[in-house]
Amino acid sequence: MKTTMMDQALSINHFLDRAGTLFKHNEIVSRLPDKTLVRHSYGQWHRRTLSLASALQRAGLQKGDRVATLCWNHHMHLEAYFGIPAAGGVMHTLNLRLSAEELGWIAADAKDRILIVDDVLLPLYLQMAALHAFERVIVFPFSGAPVPPEFTSYEAFIAEGDADGFTPVPHGEDEAIAICYTSGTTGRPKGVAYSHRSTVLHTLVGCLGDHWGLRGIDVVMPVTPMFHANSWGMPYGAVMVGAKLVFPGPHLHADDLLDLMQLEPPTLSLGVPTIWMSLIQTYERSLTEHPGRWKLPAGMRSLVGGAAVPESLIRAFDAHGIWIMQGWGMTETSPIATISYARAELKDASAEERYRRAAMAGVIAPLVELRLKTEEGLIAPWDGQTMGEVQVRGPFITGSYHEVPVTEDKFTADGWLRTGDVATLDDLGFLRITDRTKDLIKSGGEWISSVDVENALMAHPAVAEAAVIAIPDEKWSERPLACVVFKPGQNAPAEALNAHLISHGFAKWQCPERYEVIAAVPRTSTGKFWKLKLREMFPR
């Protein structure tokens, strides 16, 4: 029996075409470094995107070649999201919070050929340039200053493209369109590649009414950096439905976001808990210190994830008419795997119960299968009590890492991704994250590898042993605490240890918040650092 047109591949190029024809009058607003706003219509954006794709092809881009971006959130980054795949390339979003050493290594590992960089980030590029030689560096004149003559200006580059004569490169659904690196528990970060198919399916799932409920009349403010797991899928969703986009550019401080919200009130936003925590505190202070300075956009829905969302944050926003939807996922899961929403069974639930549920990671998204594996290797029942490692599979869950052999510590023999998160599931299918087995600390939405910090600390002449754990932090979600054993008769103050880390390529925010001197690091029966014991010793 013949079925529907199987030769019609799922493709984000379709979203691009659609936006350029159907939504050409809708707006994309970006905040520039000088805080002024620049406006483009989707029609203009569409032409610029096709010009970029055409120019990339003329510059010799071959199918599957990687083009890196080192950019803030703005219209040009959205051009790259669609223009690079339309040219047949793979967009590699570089995380501007990483050190130059890490960025250089990642760019080399991904074999990035071309880089598109914001002019305001050129100093970071110049530091990493020695570690990876891009064939071409295209500089976006984001600040409006002239582009230094040794680089190609983005505007001059796309002016060489032929938007009218360009046809997007034919492709298979499973061909990569983007790659994003995730922090390694030990050693190096690993690349996760997304395909046209995975991106389209993830976008459709994200847009469901129970999730973002994204509509064409929405005004979307993506605060989550576009270098994080393709900004949780929202840029693709906004283009698919033609929703107005408001990009904050480099201005992510609470005052700046509140100012932007007055100018362009969003109906939907997304970001990590740290951002919203500081935003609500600043706003509440302003009510007495500067009454009337800001108004929160009541009715806005906000997707918050990347770290546990405290119930207090959900309550604080709800008091101002803003509902926070918590999501859980990973770069490896595209990233949405669960979202907390009010299920039919909860329609008559008390406010207390609704808050309690909203503070959980949420309900398993369609097309995602999720199970909890207990330490005994059993599948945990959905009793809200039994803990197990979260394992997932599905069409937008990665099946491997870029050029890394598939190993059993990351993927089970029967084909599930091991997330390194520990959780319970209750009878309504709500996931509650309780612990993490991967040795990583998440501070303000960015990873710190405890193992890397430990190794660097143990290279200090006074340190015999060092074990680093996460402690809860109201502002940053988590911060690193280092437990240090000094060599006999030796000592070093925290400032000296942090200076040592910085000289070894760590950023300031990656350095431990606190040091505790201990006599010996507790060890498990197999001789590994017993972090559980340390977490008990230093709960906060």
Q: Which residues bind ligand ADP (CB under 6 A)?
A: 182, 228-229, 305-309, 326, 328-331, 335, 361, 419, 421, 433, 436, 442, 445, 447
Of the listed 332, 389, 446, 454, which one is catalytic?
Answer: 332
Of the listed 93, 152, 182, 274, which one is catalytic?
Answer: 182
Q: Shortest distance, CB of residue 221 to ligand ADP, whole angstroms? A: 17
HSE (side-chain half, CA atoms, 13 Å) at 431:
29
Nearer to ligand ADP, 18 or 356 (CB): 356
Nearer to ligand ADP, 207 or 303 (CB): 303
Of the listed 212, 294, 328, 447, which one is catalytic?
Answer: 447
Nearer to ligand ADP, 152 or 477 (CB): 477
End-to-end CA, the chain = 63
Closest CA relative to residue 417, chosen from 380, 390, 395, 392: 392
For this structure, is 332 an active site residue? yes
β-bridge pairing 66-70 and 90-93: parallel
Nearer to ligand ADP, 55 or 372 (CB): 372
Nearer to ligand ADP, 248 or 445 (CB): 445
Contact between 485 and 470 (Cβ < 8 Å): no
Nearer to ligand ADP, 182 or 199 (CB): 182
Q: Shortest distance, CB of residue 418 to ligand ADP, whole angstroms? A: 10
Closest CA relative to residue 276, chosen from 440, 445, 31: 445
β-bridge pairing 430-436 and 417-425: antiparallel
Of the listed 442, 446, 478, 531, which one is catalytic?
Answer: 442
For this structure, is 442 an active site residue? yes
The CA distance from 253 to 126, in Å, is 26
Closest CA relative to residue 315, chosen from 349, 344, 369, 358: 358
Q: Shortest distance, CB of residue 231 to ligand ADP, whole angstroms? A: 9
For this structure, is 536 an active site residue? no
Q: Shortest distance, CB of residue 270 to ligand ADP, whole angstroms? A: 10
232: left (phi over 0), alpha (psi -120 to 50) or beta: left
For 86, 162, 456, 519, 527, the CA distances from 7, given in Å and listed in that order, are: 18, 28, 53, 66, 55
For this structure, is 182 an active site residue? yes
Q: Shortest distance, CB of residue 310 to ligand ADP, whole angstroms? A: 10
3-class DSSP state for residue 397? coil
The CA distance from 501 to 272, in Å, is 26
DSSP string, 393-409: ESTTS-SSBTTB---TT
Q: Shortest distance, CB of residue 64 to ligand ADP, whole angstroms? A: 24
Catalytic residues: 182, 332, 442, 447
